[in-house]
Structure 1
Amino acid sequence: MQSIGGLHIQYYEVCKRKLWLYSKQIGFETEHERVIEGTLLHESSYARKEKELAIDQAVIDVVDGEFIQETKLSSKMQRVDEWQLLYYLYLLKQKGIEKRGKIAYTKEKKVVEVTLTEEKERQLKRKIADINSILTSEFAPKLKKMPYCKNCAYFDFCFITEEDADAT
């Protein structure tokens, strides 16, 4: 069983193929515009690194009283962001720490509260089991076209054979 971080949860929610590729260190993300933008936001939002908390493979942006907080550019992927934060809440709970979560969306100046319920925890445990299954699989999950594929760092990798087929 591989250690799971916040990105694993994000990628699982966005694209299981992306999760598998990332887990095999097939990385195109470091030079992708959206990843660079997110990294800059993270670095500029919290100049004081002591607000961060590392738990296993997860790094929580801010711990503040009864809340932990993640900072994101926009709420376009709010469902994905919520599952990432729920995972962090779950990790803390496993260590005997009960918190609530907040996601701060900087472009929209909006904050969303997130609470780990028993039902969300059950769903999360199923997701974690599925993630472990994907990570240990010999082959990548089948390609599934999604509306946001064109903005993904793995787009060219995933669709090169399709483009080649269209050219012939």
Structure 2
Amino acid sequence: MVNGTMLWYYNVCKREVWLMSRGIVPDQQDENIDIGRFIHERTYKRNSKEISFGNVKFDVLFRSKNQITIGETKKTSKYVEASKWQLMYYLNQLKEAGIKAKGVLLYPEEKKRTEVNLTEESRERLQKMCLDIEKICALEHPPSAEKIRFCRNCAYREYCYS
């Protein structure tokens, strides 16, 4: 089943999608995973955190009188495209349940926030990505490893280059 994390991986590396779909987890001792956990646990303490909704779990919920905003906390904006699509997946799940919400990507280390809006065009593109993810997950073997700029800091790198 497609989820937000798969959307994130899909926009970074298709091989990671396949590995994740098989229950193969990244190296949990990887420094980048530890830093991400630390940032997640230590930021936005006054807001609702780790909100589960169906098959998704978003990091933080901000509420005002007239607006719900969901946020995804990230270590770095280096993966902004992947993070944007992960958050749009969450916004789409809410929209399909009749909940109107905005999205914001949060980069506490960079003191940066990026708003994310779900449009009809992005919903169509999201649907195509989900179909492609399902095709990748159905493959008997993972897609070939492709050396990209993100490999150096990838917690899955040993599955590709060991």
TM-score, normalization: structure 2?
0.90
The residue that corresponds to 2:108 in the other structure is 106
Percent of pairs with identical residues: 39
1:62 aligns with 2:60: yes
**What is the SS of the residue equivalent to 2:118?**
coil
Query: Which residue of the partner structure matches residue 89 of structure 2?
Result: 87
- In the alignment of these two chains, the number of paired residues is 158
- In structure 2, what is the Cα distance between the partners aligned to 1:130 and 1:93? 21
Q: Of 26, 29, 32, which residue of structure 2 is paired with 1:31?
A: 29
Q: Is the 8 A contact 2:47 2:62 kept in 1?
A: no
Name the aligned partner's letter for residue 150 of structure 2: Y
Deviation larger for 94-103 or 56-65: 56-65
| 1:66-118 deviation per Cα after TM superposition (whole angstroms, max 9, x unaligned) | 21111112211111111111111001011111111111111111111110011
Q: Secondary structure at the match of 2:103?
A: strand
8 Å contact from structure 2 (residues 7, 85) kept in 1: yes
| Match status 1:149 vs 2:147 | no
* Counterpart code for 1:104: L
Q: Contact 2:18 / 2:142 at 8 angstroms: preserved in 1?
A: yes
Q: TM-score, normalised by structure 1?
A: 0.87
Residue number in structure 2 paired with 1:166? none
For 1:25, the aligned partner's letter is: G
Partner of 1:122 in structure 2? Answer: 124
Is 41-50 or 143-152 further displaced after alignment?
41-50
CA radius of gyration, larger in: 1
Q: Let me know the Cα RMSD of the aligned residues.
A: 1.6
Unaligned ranges ≥5, structure 1: 161-168
- 1:48 Cα deviation (Å)? 6.0
Q: In the alignment, what sits opposite 2:6?
A: 8
Aligned to 1:78: 80
- The answer to which structure has the higher helix fraction is 1
